[in-house]
Chains A and B, each alone.
Chain A
């Protein structure tokens, strides 16, 4: 299954569901709602963390955290 951690730079996808309940509560509050479009904005120099554009702003997260968000190409 594809997650945010699998996105290429500049690639877009839609949030589908979460694998980790605790983190999902935090991400929901930050605007990662099922069905919302996200884009991989930057990858830090050493490959981790990454920056994800959502809802008009950029959220940095570690790759292991990004791997808990399952995405799909289209709704």
Chain B
């Protein structure tokens, strides 16, 4: 037996496959990517015995080995390629016992590939509620492979599963009847030719080479041409044969199930609770009312509840920064550490509560089965804008971060609807914009109470989010006629029965999303903070080193703190960042921005969350360290416009900036994600262009109208 065998978990969506994976690996799981594709790969260690630590790989859920959605492709790409680094030694097929026939379709396909399999029967409690009795022993005898009853939700049956997997590793039992479906029965010569010319020994694997070589990453171009020639030569019809295969398998499965499943069930009736909940949640009025209430709870959580831990983090980072400044000797290195690095890390950590809250609630909705209902009631509305019911998840997730949101669009089978969803999701105001919104709103909008319950500031904030949502829908509607797509996709979607969320599973989903945010977005933010600090501290020529002389010459009357301030401001103006800001000032002046804001805009082009950090870096470089109005808000409020002599941040400027940030595509991670998801630079560049035009144009309008 191998020391580190690979165990793949395969199964239909929504049947507890990921719960089983979580039970086996817990927090030791790793999230990464499958080689050469961007499908998320979850893997983790599972101790089989003292000498053997298996690697469990959770493969995306699917209904058959003929993939429809992009994520599903990776499964056949691995199972059909023995040279793949994730090619499993044993496959655990998880099946929903309450829907055995459909689940066995996938099982017979995997078994026919000649892989050692174990069938794990899950959701036996649901089956019992439906008056189905599954006899695992009889089923195992029929199938000729180990069949284990598990309850993935609570972790029952895992020891038996372990034994079955070890048994399949030590002396693999392949299913009794050689093939549930043997393609050589109809096309012996074609199958024979494929096997002979490609060194394949399994008939069903040979069939998949014929049927799906176009999506196999490991099949070179010449081979594809050769396969197409063989198909023609033998008069093979791909779709017709696939339909025949599916029907043949169901016929075989009928025979298998007849003896091992007892039923007195009425097969076309939903479980009582699901029926009752659907009556409300799919109701023409109550359905939308509940959805609206759910959205309100999400926003309340993300903006109100999350603000408490965020304030704590903010205060914590600020006092850490002060403490470091006091403890360490003054100098460039200390400044880099405090104003550059610590400030940058603070800018990352502050988002964690919001992201955690949002993903907690979204995965709760997905776990419970409610999300599928939302997609159904929203589909027709979303279609008017060229989107899909499934676009709801990306759009809601976009409120936290566009990167996971755009990846969530993969579940949309229709290529055009998926592309539109990707193009407009970044218009949803993500959590990185929130600090910009709050700082600027607090600066120019009074906190007057409205209707006793709301404040003017809160309403302005809500208005910005609505502006983002409406622009997303309108943009989708405007773009939809310009996107061509010959490929059709389907909405077809299983409606899961409602279930109580598995908290452990929800917790792990939250943990994963926070971890990937910190590691992916975090790196960029910290790097930019440091680069920015360097650019703002050093400059071309000797203007910076001679700053004090120059100021003393020009304004000899200044003393003490005033003197230091003037020197620091002079240094910033003559730094690389200052030159940069001055260079673009003519372009942004019509929007009301000066060169300091120009620096922040450029810096936040990589990631908009950098804006607030940059503003505090810029304004802290130009001011005293010990004053008590040390917050960024106070510093911005004190900023004077040199042209007018009045406060720099007028409502016109603040709203112009707000509108700019609602529309601007300022996030490298999003651009990179869109490029990955659409396989090229065309769409991310189009997206960047249309969003930039919107941002500039509307910010210009706002400033000119309000000033």
Contacts and interface: CB of A to CB of B under 8 A. Distances in A.
B312 interface: no
Contact of A28 (B243, B278, B287, B380): B243
A33 B250 contact: yes
A45 B66 contact: no
A45 B283 contact: yes
A55 B101 contact: yes
A50 B66 CA distance: 25
A31 B250 contact: yes
Interface stretch (B80-88, B263-271, B570-578): B263-271
A30 to B, nearest CB: 6
A41 B372 contact: no
Q: Considering residues A42, A54, A60, which has the most beta carbons from chain B within 10 angstroms of its beta carbon?
A: A60
A71 interface: no
Contacts of A1: none
A25 B375 CA distance: 23
B490 interface: yes
A22 B488 contact: yes
Given A31-B102, A56-B98, A56-B267, A62 B379 contact: yes
A59 B102 CA distance: 12
A67 interface: no
A60 B495 contact: yes
A54 B242 CA distance: 21
A27 B246 CA distance: 10
Contacts of B627: none
Contacts of A23: 490, 492
Interface in B271-287: 278, 282-284, 287
Contacts of A41: 268, 270
Contact of A49 (B98, B246, B379): B379
B250 A45 contact: no
A65 B488 CA distance: 11
Interface in A36-61: 37-39, 41-42, 44-49, 51, 53-61
A62 B491 contact: yes
Contacts, number: 116
Interface residues of B, number: 44
Nearest to B98: A56
Contacts of A42: 278, 282
A64 B379 CA distance: 13
A75 B130 CA distance: 26
Given A56-B130, A59-B495, A61-B490, A33 B247 contact: yes
Interface in B241-272: 242-243, 246-247, 250, 265, 267-270
A24 B589 CA distance: 59
B475 interface: no
B99 A45 contact: no
B246 A28 contact: yes
Contacts of A45: 282-284, 287-288, 377
Given A28-B247, A45-B287, A49-B389, A57 B494 contact: yes
Interface in A10-32: 12, 21-31
Contacts of A38: 268
Given A28-B246, A45-B288, A59 B493 contact: yes
A23 B278 CA distance: 26
B263 to A, nearest CB: 9
B381 interface: yes
Contacts of A58: 270, 494-495
Given A46-B381, A49-B379, A60-B372, A30 B490 contact: no
A55 B288 CA distance: 29
B268 A12 contact: yes
A23 B413 CA distance: 12
A65 B102 CA distance: 20
A41 B492 CA distance: 15
Interface centre among A27, A29, A46 (most CB of B within 10 A): A29
Nearest to A53: B268
Interface string B90-109: 00000000110110010000
Q: How large is the interface on A (under 10, 10 to 19, 20 to 34, 35 or more residues)?
A: 35 or more
Contacts of A51: 282, 376, 495
Contacts of A55: 99, 101-102, 267
Contact of B102 (A21, A24, A57): A57
B101 A31 contact: yes
Nearest to A61: B492
B239 interface: yes
Contacts of A24: 243
Contacts of A26: 68, 490, 492
Contacts of B247: 28, 33-34
Contacts of B101: 31, 55
B242 to A, nearest CB: 5
Contacts of B377: 44-46
Nearest to B250: A33
Interface string B466-490: 0000000000000000000000101
B492 A65 contact: yes
B265 A56 contact: yes
Contacts of B267: 37, 53, 55-56
A37 B269 CA distance: 12
Contacts of B380: 44, 46-49
B390 to A, nearest CB: 11
B22 interface: no
B241 to A, nearest CB: 10
A33 to B, nearest CB: 5
B490 A60 contact: no
A57 B377 CA distance: 19
B288 A30 contact: no
Nearest to B488: A22
A60 B493 contact: yes
B653 to A, nearest CB: 43
Interface string B370-384: 001001110111000
Q: Which of B64, B101, B376 has the most CB of A within 10 A?
A: B376
A42 B274 CA distance: 12
14 contacts: A22-B239, A26-B492, A28-B247, A30-B494, A41-B270, A45-B287, A45-B377, A49-B379, A49-B389, A51-B282, A53-B270, A57-B495, A60-B492, A65-B491
Given A46-B380, A59-B493, 20 more contacts: A21-B243, A22-B239, A25-B242, A28-B246, A29-B64, A31-B250, A33-B250, A41-B268, A42-B282, A45-B288, A46-B381, A49-B379, A49-B380, A54-B268, A55-B267, A57-B494, A60-B376, A60-B492, A61-B491, A62-B491
Task: In the A-B complex, list the 8 residue pairs whose CB atoms are closest, starting with the nearest.
Answer: A45-B284, A46-B380, A58-B495, A28-B246, A39-B268, A53-B268, A29-B64, A62-B491
